[in-house]
Structure 1
Amino acid sequence: MSAVGEIAGLAGSAGSAGSAGLSPAAQAEAVTLAILDDLRAGRHRGVIVDSPPGAGKSTLVVRTAAVLAASGAPLMIVAQTNEQVDDLVERLSARLADELPAARIGRLGRTGYLPSARLAGLSNVVTASDVDSLGEPEVTISTAAKWAYVREGTWPWAIVDEAYQMRSDTLLAIAARFERALFVGDPGQLDPFSTVTGDRWHGLVWNPMQSAVAVLQRNNPDLPVHRLPVSWRLPRTAQDVVADAFYPFTGFRTGTGFGERGLVVPGPAESPVDDVLDVAATTGWGLLELPARHTMRTDAEAVAAVAQLTRRILERGTLATSGGERTRITPGRIAVGAAHRDQVVAIRAALGGLAATEGDADHPAAGSGSGAGAFGASGAGPGSAGWDGQVVVDTANRLQGREYEITVVLHPLSGRRDATAFHLEAGRLCVLASRHRQACLVVARAGIRELLDAHPTSDPVHLGEPVRFPDGWAANQAMLAHLATSRVQL
């Protein structure tokens, strides 16, 4: 269906969004049409879309942008990082080239901005460091930080991507630039980040440390909220685990069933490291548990175990199965996640030439992009034949939004004496546990559940401030309860 036809025939389909008997693709399509119908109707100044990991947020943004561009109304798109902006520009460029060949996309950058190599050859993309130099493109895209410096002009429509990761003060800075907006994000991911403590603002309605969506809903309780129902990234083995730990009130389904994806690990197991890999091939999860011990943050034994496990995935010739096809796991299809940058540096050093450098890890080809529009219901994902690279090792903050075939995670609470708010952040664990298409392997020292019992949730409840649930304590307990069934002791 063309973009013009899409916006003209939405009302009849919107009511089917809650149909329980639909296939994953049909259910996701029904919700998308309901979202577009709400936008077209103009009953509200904003529409909110919640999404589980890998549900196709970027696909929704690109599709909605094409529909709005076809209607003739100029559109601004707000993303949180330059990598997200370039990814959206590239995907929207391909869609508009097919549906609206005359349409132009304006990529707004910082002073002295030069387009990245993947944008430089796109004929329907114009780049500049100020709005006036872009002309009048149908779609203008930039980061929230750059939009905050745009002081003139208004757009009838805006799309805010990763809205839960945007601070409310940033939304306030750009709110005058648009009339109506679509806010798309994942409520289970990391909260907005700041190096400034927010204690002084607790309970205030204008608390700048709250997410843009939280403040938006607080001041506009009548805004419609839609939920994308299908994760196209996660395998069926991850559905109940991730939903129970991080989305207990909404849940979601995966686009594939049991057995449609999996790992094949050739050769016999030679050590506990191999054993946990075999367990993950069967269950989609694995916990390699080291002896209980309090350690420094860059635990040398844990780092070595992470590196050894990652190497064995490659040395054994592990194969990913999807849609009836088998593809060998190459280094670029693996991600290693940790909580701290010093842990990341130590793991990169332990992996040697297998690990991507920090600059390489920033490259969008390193597992970025997700959703049904990118890979289809069972899709090959970013690791299809011909895609290689090096193992990406990074923090949860920087892995957010990416996807890989296999992830290896150093648990944030491994070896710790205490459970701080940082290490109990539910969004951090959610990111680490939801980047994979096939399996997630966790490395941790024994004793985390006892640590959690010794540090029960005790955060103060501030009047006038929403309480987030599940909190990190509950999310960790839920995850560890499941991982106990896939545990191999080292």
Structure 2
Amino acid sequence: MTVIPQLETPAAEAARVVDAVLRDLATSPHRGVVVDSPPGAGKSTLVVRAAGVLAATGAPLMIVAQTNEQVDDLIARLGAASPELSVGRLSAVDYSASERVRNHPSCRVGAKVADLGGPPVTIGTAAKWATVTDGTWPWAIVDEAYQMRSDALLRVAARFDRALFVGDPGQLDPFSTVEVDRWTGLSWDPMQSAVAVLLRHNPDLPVHRLPVSWRLPASAAPVVAEAFYPFTGFRSGTGPGDRTLSFATPATSPLDEALDTAAASGWGLHELPSRFTVRTDAEAAAACAGLAAAALSRGGTTSSESGTASLTADRIAIGAAHRDQVAAIRSCLPPEARDVTVDTANRLQGREYDLTVVLHPLSGRQDATAFHLESGRLCVLTSRHRHACVVVARAGIAELLDAHPSTEPVHLGVPVKFPDGWEANQAMLAHLSALR
């Protein structure tokens, strides 16, 4: 009799990888451990669990995050997981503690390490840690390490002996508003991510990959994995049919039809006529706002492993590439949709919604610049949803990509980045083309 092996469940596979990470923290002789994570794979959960494990050893721990929002979010998660664990929040002098920080039963806020009273866990942004000149910690956890520039890591490296680096390699790379060509090709190029430079100089460091996305549904994980994570891949923590999005009223417009397509398949493409436009395309902005408003007016309902709930404005997000596009979309929202989140890809990183609407970065453009082609930007925009994503774009993007091959210079000593922006965009378009 043939015995068919049982496939490992998503929860079991994820637990096995997390156990391996914690085991490396306890036994590995290396000074660092790297954990790569796809969107929604539980990076923050891993950080909180690792913090609890390391703090239980009695050795003080420092946590480095990239933004104040990330710091406050981690403090809230630490408070929920281990309310008895004392936490020190390094902050600016004029920082006003958010409600999440105030709700932590054992959190103390201070502008200097000496003001915190030596807690087991001290947490702050990379910029704040760079101002600390005294003291060392046996362990550090660097959250969202792929968002951190390598020079920022260099400024805090003297503060810890060993570190856990956690981040998403598919998200946006560090960026700068000044010319950076003078460093291009150098192994310590400050515009590379902290993890990229770390691994170039320490190629033997153990690297783990979280294998399951708990955010992306079964309809999205294979698409996002193929387009943006071609060599590592991941799977959804849920199966087909585990999550549903439905509307109480039938479709009466093309916007409604795009929403119904997305509700049924997880993806939708609302395609506008081909035309070159200014960056703040009024028709595209109105379509994005109209989709969000229609989803609310039609009485959307979501069902998932978390239960059944109404689709409310705070669970809908609209993403765009530029701030002026964000402003144009926000101005088109009706009063009942004012609580819909409208923001750029940079500011949507790490956030999660039930339904997202995306204004494609290449919509209406005459050229395909490096900024608009960056795979991380499209990855962030198309990986924020738990149920469905609708992309708004003018026709002709595929032809634009074919007509504008890469003209970016090739530099010696610069590792080739995967996925390529052209390839990632074509992969997404190939899937969306059947869902117009």
The sequence identity of aligned pairs, in percent, is: 68
Which residue number in structure 2 is paired with residue 184 of structure 1?
166
The reply on whether 1:234 has 2:229 as its aligned counterpart is no
Q: For residue 33 of structure 1, what is the aligned residue in structure 2?
A: 19
Corresponding residue SS for 2:346 = helix
Map of 1:373 onto structure 2: none
Paired position in structure 2 for 1:437: 386
CA distance in 2, matches of 1:428, 1:354: 29
Check the 8 A contact 1:354/1:391 in 2, yes or no.
no
User: Is the counterpart of residue 164 in structure 1 residue 146 in structure 2?
Assistant: yes
Amino acid at match of 2:376: G
* TM-score normalised over the length of structure 1: 0.86
Structure 2 counterpart SS, 1:422: helix
Contact 1:355 1:393 in 2 (8 A): no
Count, aligned residues: 432
> What residue is the counterpart of 1:461 in the other structure?
410
Contact 1:154 1:177 in 2 (8 A): yes
Match of 1:309 in 2: 291
Q: Which runs of 5+ in 2 are unaligned?
A: none
How far off its partner does 1:465 sit? 1.4
> Quick one: distance in 1 between partners of 2:212 and 2:100?
29
Task: Give the stretch that moved more between structures: 283-292 or 112-121.
Answer: 112-121
**Aligned mates of 1:211, 1:55 — CA distance in 2:** 20
Given the alignment, which residue of 329, 339, 343 partners 2:321? 339
**Structure 1 segment 13-52 matched on structure 2, within 5 A:** 21-52=7-38
What residue ranges of structure 1 are gaps of 5+ in the alignment? Answer: 1-18, 357-389
Task: Quote the residue 1:109 is aligned against.
Answer: 91
Shift of 1:459: 2.3
Show CA shifts across 1:392-423 (max 9, x none): 00000000000000000111000000011110
TM-score by length of 2: 0.97
Q: CA deviation at 1:123?
A: 2.5
Preserved contact between residue 73 and residue 156 of structure 1 (Cα < 8 Å): yes
In structure 1, the residue corresponding to 2:245 is in which secondary structure? Answer: strand
Q: Secondary structure at the match of 2:219?
A: helix
Q: Relative to structure 1, is the Cα distance of residues 312 and 31 closer, same or farther in structure 2, using a 3 angstrom cutoff?
A: same
Q: Deviations over 1:353-373 (max 9, x none)?
A: 3455xxxxxxxxxxxxxxxxx
- Residue of structure 2 equivalent to 1:139: 121
Q: Which residue pairs with 2:428 in the alignment?
A: 479
The match for 2:282 is: 300
Q: Structure 2: how far apart are the matches of 1:452 and 1:429?
A: 15
* Per-residue CA distance 1:253-288 (angstroms, 9 max, x = gap): 100000101211222211111111111111100000
The CA deviation string for residues 10-44 of structure 1, in whole angstroms up to 9 with x for no partner, is xxxxxxxxx98211111111100000000101310
Three-state SS of the structure 1 residue aligned to 2:333 is: helix
Tell me if the contact between 1:314 and 1:330 (Cα under 8 Å) persists in the aligned partners. yes
Q: Is the 8 A contact 1:461 1:467 kept in 2?
A: no
- Aligned with 1:129 (options 70, 90, 111): 111
Select between 86-95 and 421-430 the one with higher mean Cα deviation.
86-95
Q: Match of 1:236, SS?
A: coil
| Post-superposition offset of 1:483 | 0.3
User: 2:188 maps to which residue?
Assistant: 206
CA change 1:416–1:20 in 2 (3 A) is farther
- Pick which of 19-28 and 248-257 moved more: 19-28
The separation in 2 between residues aligned to 1:120 and 1:176, in whole angstroms, is 30
Q: Trace 1:45-84 onto structure 2 (pairs within 5 A).
A: 45-84=31-70
Rounded Cα–Cα distance in structure 1 between residues aligned with 2:168 and 2:207: 12
Q: 2:377 aligned with 1:395, yes or no?
A: no
SS of the aligned residue for 1:423 comes to helix
The 1:290/1:39 distance shift into structure 2, 3 A limit, reads same
CA RMSD in angstroms, aligned pairs only: 1.3
Counterparts of 1:358-369 in structure 2, within 5 Å, are none
